[in-house]
Structure 1
């Protein structure tokens, strides 16, 4: 398959990928542009996830790449980053679905699951037979999850009883399992549990009236005396430090997705500027429009360089929390800036779905906040460079 660099990849950074990786990325790009892009605005407008496309996404073999039980070929964090960018440049909600399934849900099992749990669950999630969600955030606990988690887990013989609530849980209205994080009432430590969503006492209610990531089926979850067997407790999750390991692995990919959103908005704005005629010529020939395009491209290029180096450090085993945090904080801030400039280029057409930019503009707000707000990531980096924690 012939590979063509994106117009937003101004320095051809994709060229560092191997020929096999380039072929797989082009295969994904073709699928996304032919199968998902034509229908995605309608799904966004109706706030419905295109479930019929889950099998097609799974057939790309790019779900579950990081784990020996599922990876179709040896992959790197750099390649997984490019995949996240590619998904997000078409639609942030689809990228979020994959991020939850591949990174958070499967990541929890990959990092904290026993050999038996990994062998049973990961292949089924790889094929899309099992859809997962990740239950950490709570109505009263988001950024302070490490200390403020209120959902409890109480041991009762060979079972655990879970009580509490979760909020903003992606995929949760239709997932088959949810990885629920709860505080053990015996030792006060956070532990993870694989909870089938048909378990009595588990209720997921869709969060309505969202104006960002409308396609993602976020839910409020209530857990009322939910009984989970010890066999479903993640055997290697013994404290929030283990939860943080999962989040660390996915935070860099969220930064890549932020770049992808900026890329999607930029490409749509660039195409529009070349076609839109005002005062007898394309608006792309106007100095002020070119200024907005160049500033957007500059943000994309600098952010892409940052996330690329972050993932290279991850592949080398040198990435720390502060590296992923800086990448996420900076990439999402530059994304937010860029999608606003792209919306400006389209004028009034920038607020209707027909031209795609409005969707990227709205979805950027959620990406800016989730998996660590800019403020929290700033404090993680601030602690690393000063030696002083300033979280409270």
Structure 2
């Protein structure tokens, strides 16, 4: 039987034209400081096609009369493995990864000339084009010198993203299974964070409880840098310092997700550090939750991608008028984007191997339609920092975002991140039981 990764290669081959080669690299280790590296994670496109996580690896997918997959990887090296960890090695790669050929990465330049002979098109990600330009130029120059021997060089360089990333937009059953697991492990982590806030003095202590729970339930790494933001820190959308003392009278916003077998969960919870919302906090929180419900309800096959954002936008704007934070006609306020000081981001994004996953949102300049197999987040928010001098101070230092992961199904949608207390009453009741 074909593995998940082998099937992905088969599907990509079917989209590639004859006499073409796709080139995908795993990436290189990056230095954190001096001789300490950041934790390595293979590029998602590479992992999607191989299931392999070693650095300094390159995959060639060659489509001519037949197809073949060739992986270049680090050779076995007992001395390096003693210091840096085990390597798969060339001899084991084909059987382990269900590939046609494996070569040492040291042979890349030599073998690339063979693999690119009489090829018309090279496909690679244009986002990595600068990394490949020197190698590609060198290979083409050498191949052009063989023209008198009847050998032709590639004449086109094409963006692989157009083929591969469109594939990744639609999740297979195996991918959906992994994402359900990532979602539910993420739920467990967020519940641990809500419980930990009572015994935590600093944001990073809540982060520790959150990420410990991820690991206890099978997530070897986070899907992205966790956000644990108390009070006004929650008004910074990508706040990741997590070093402030927790204001026990304020809300805490946690945006974090577990990664399972390369797939991301992505949840945001907002809850009171004391376990009890103030009236102002409860009013804004309930408004954001109402906007999220409207957005989720709008998501179904055949609807345009932006329908969720438009639904949440209308609810939030009307609510801000009702609370006296904005004044005027809802339609006029939306047209003038008067909401933007308080809600400055979209309502969601694709989710998959990357937390902000790949794939076009528009086709021919028009929002694309939702289709079964797509996975999106839904995450409306409101952020009112103390810098908003024209807003009543009772709303200051309140940042709220509520985020869930949504699978589009044949009949509508499925919320993958079920199991969290979400209403004001549910949160207060649940937290009261944790004290």
Length-normalised TM-score, structure 1: 0.25
Q: Which has the higher strand share?
A: 2
Larger RCO of the pair (alpha carbons < 8 Å, separation 6+): 1
**Radius of gyration: which is bigger?**
2
Q: Which has the higher helix share?
A: 1
Length-normalised TM-score, structure 2: 0.24
